[in-house]
Amino acid sequence: MATTNAKTKTRSAYEALPLGAVKPAGWLRNQLQIQADGFTGHLEEHWGDVGPNNGWIGGQGESWERGPYYLDGLLPLAYVLEDEALIAKAQRWIEWSLNSQRADGNFGPQGPIQTVNNDLNKMQDWWHYMIMLKVFTQYEEATGDERVVPFLRRFFGFVRGTIEANPLQGWAKARGAEMALCILWLHRRTGDESLLELAGIVAEQTTDWTDVFHDFPYWRKVEEWDWTTHVVNVAMGIKAPGIRYELSGSEAERAAVHRGIDSLMTYHGQAHGMFSGDEWLSGTGPSQGVELCAVVEYMYSMEHLTRVFGEGRFGDILEKVAFNALPATISKDWTSHQYDQQVNQIVCNVAPRNWSNGPDANLFGLEPNFGCCTSNMHQGWPKFAAHLWMGDGSGGLAAVSYAPCAVSATVGGGAAATIRVGGEYPFRETVTMDVSLDRASEPFAIALRIPAWCAAPSLTINGANVSLNAVNGYARIEREWRDGDRLTLTLPMDVTTTSRNLYAISVERGPLVYALPIQENWQLLQKRERFHDWEIYPGSPWKYGLLADSAYEASEFDVPYQPFDAAQAPVRLRASGKLVRGWKMEGNNAGTPPIYPNVDGQETVELTLVPYGSARLRIGEFPLIGEREKAWKKRM
């Protein structure tokens, strides 16, 4: 239940903790370190668009979104890892922007905007500022730098004085919620009521996503451009009703979010938790693409929707996307990435596809198709880590996801608490949470997200069973906690199959989707000093369907430094399948999984499925072989 903040008159169920309050551990910290050792820690030296000539550090080069996008991932990565070298990299960008502020409150590069994009007014645009505003809110939380709040107040004064004469247009209009959430952040910091008026103006100028999602009009693969069908705009726009809800409290905003998610997954949903969009919304076909920018922006939207509404559904979606779609589209060493990924991805090469994107969009490389993802991909894991836990506004804490970490916060009446989360979730079913307090005991609440996929969760505290009563996806445990308490949460992960178009199925266990890995033959396409371009060709058969009566047997292995590597997958499923003779390639992709797969004379073979995110070539949506289980026969 969202509550009204008495100080600020805005509404949200939870409060984001300051950047740095959550420290990643275990496999998640390793993932962030791999990111730092790859693209994020070295992109400036190898990609001119964010190099020394970028306009956001005083150069004459790119001065629109790419520098801010990069910093929006670099800065949180630096602070969650406590990496002094990365902090220094980020600080150079911060200092330049702080020092660039002019007498009218505006800041940033001056003169015509330098960008390869031609779909904006290069004399005046608001979108790139919105990204930098998000950077500054994170930076202030991490450092307490006293310059930031006055800096933002002056800038928003400039916005108030000019935004009605120069209203949001184009990208900025579609993405105006990004500015509104930063205005509300400053309002929570200062209590300045004039900021609520400004947030309302920005919300009114922003695309009416509430209407788009409440009565969703895009029921088919989109064939022509519209701002409201661009997949990244949609991924950002889904949180816009939530930001409007903070201002109004209207239940119509909450309803629009849920109706929008339902519609996106019905008409464009993919097995990995995203909706398709090889630039525009593209239907449910498993060979349609989804853009990497959309993946990280949808994650960020789910983080804010969790904060605003406090509903477990958004955490379920966040985990599914983070643990599947995000790692699948980036090489395991973080030195190449795709623009578009596919659920059924049998080859990554330069070839025409039935997409609006170019023929190189599913390559793994430095800048396939277009450079926005090269700069924007970096925010995914760091912001996920920063939002693993939130405050409940009453001195308690809420667990959004159970990836390993340590969260430190002030709880109850002022006690300093640290909760250390172990267990290597989602590769294991059991999560441990060890409570440390700076005093013997303190009363406060811990809200535990109970995933919708888990039928029989259980909790013990210091070995004693505790009943769980989940409301809107969260079970609230309020008690007097003692230093040294241990919570053990068990989330049994049953294997389930989801029936998709033409009765094809996807396979899930807990928050992980499972796929058939195809042997990968990586072939160099363009060599650079670092960050090369690669095509990937299949080295093993891919035309397998799964038997309707297949048993799925899970086996666990050690969780390696990089768990999203098919060869070292920490969880694997054994399943039964057959080769499907008539499953064709169509347009350089795997064709539609056949509703009546021809398996005459084919032998049954044992297949090993691995987490979707660990296989860069894969089948994730399978033809179903045999009679499917009828709904009316299932035990209710």
Answer whether 101's CB lies under 8 Å from 85's CB: no
pLDDT, tens digit, 9 for 90 and up, residues 400-425: 999 999 999 999 999 999 999 999 99
For the record, the structure tokens of 96 come out as 């330049």
Give me the pLDDT at residue 327, please: 98
Write down the residue that tokens 């969202």 correspond to.
2
Is the C-alpha dihedral spanning 371, 372, 373, 378 positive or negative?
Answer: positive
Give me the pLDDT at residue 542, please: 98
For the record, the structure tokens of 148 come out as 């930031």
Give me the pLDDT at residue 6, please: 45
Give long-range contacts, CB 8 A cutoff, 24+ apart: 517-525: 517/566, 517/608, 517/609, 517/610, 517/614, 517/615, 517/617, 517/618, 518/346, 518/542, 518/615, 518/617, 518/618, 518/619, 519/617, 520/616, 520/617, 522/364, 525/350, 525/363, 525/365
Sketch out the chain's domains with CATH numbers. Answer: 3-389 (1.50.10.10), 391-490 (2.60.40.1180), 495-633 (no CATH)
Beta pairing, strands 458-461 & 464-466: antiparallel
- The Cα 188–Cα 522 span in angstroms is 50
pLDDT, tens digit, 9 for 90 and up, residues 315-347: 999 999 999 999 999 999 999 999 999 999 999
- The Cα 177–Cα 126 span in angstroms is 12
Q: Which amino acid is at 521?
A: N
SS3 for 483?
Answer: coil
Q: Output the pTM of the full model.
A: 0.97
What are the strands, taking DSSP E only, across 32-85? none
Q: Which amino acid is at 364?
A: F
When computed from its CA atoms, the radius of gyration of the chain, rounded to whole angstroms, is 24
Give me the pLDDT at residue 634, please: 61
- The Cα 186–Cα 422 span in angstroms is 34
- The Cα 289–Cα 345 span in angstroms is 9
Peptide bond between residue 241 and the one before it cis (omega within 30 degrees of 0): no
Give me the pLDDT at residue 235, please: 98
Give me the pLDDT at residue 635, please: 53
The DSSP 8-state label assigned to residue 56 in this structure reads G
- The Cα 395–Cα 386 span in angstroms is 18
pLDDT, tens digit, 9 for 90 and up, residues 361-371: 999 999 999 99
Answer whether 520's CB lies under 8 Å from 434's CB: no
Give me the pLDDT at residue 170, please: 98
Composition of the chain by helix, strand, coil, percent to 5: 35, 25, 40
Answer whether 242's CB lies under 8 Å from 309's CB: yes
C-alpha distance from residue 283 to each of 320, 340, 369 (Å): 19, 14, 21
For the record, the structure tokens of 553 come out as 């047997």
φ, ψ for residue 262 (rounded to 5)?
Answer: -60, -45
pLDDT under 70 in the chain at which residues? 1-9, 631-636
Listing DSSP states for 179-244 in one string gives HHHHHHHHHHHH--THHHHHHHHHHHHS--HHHHHHT----S---S--TTTBHHHHHHHTTHHHHH
For 576-612, letters b (16+ CB in 10 Å) and e give bbbbbeebeeeebbbbbbbeebbbeebeeeebebbbb
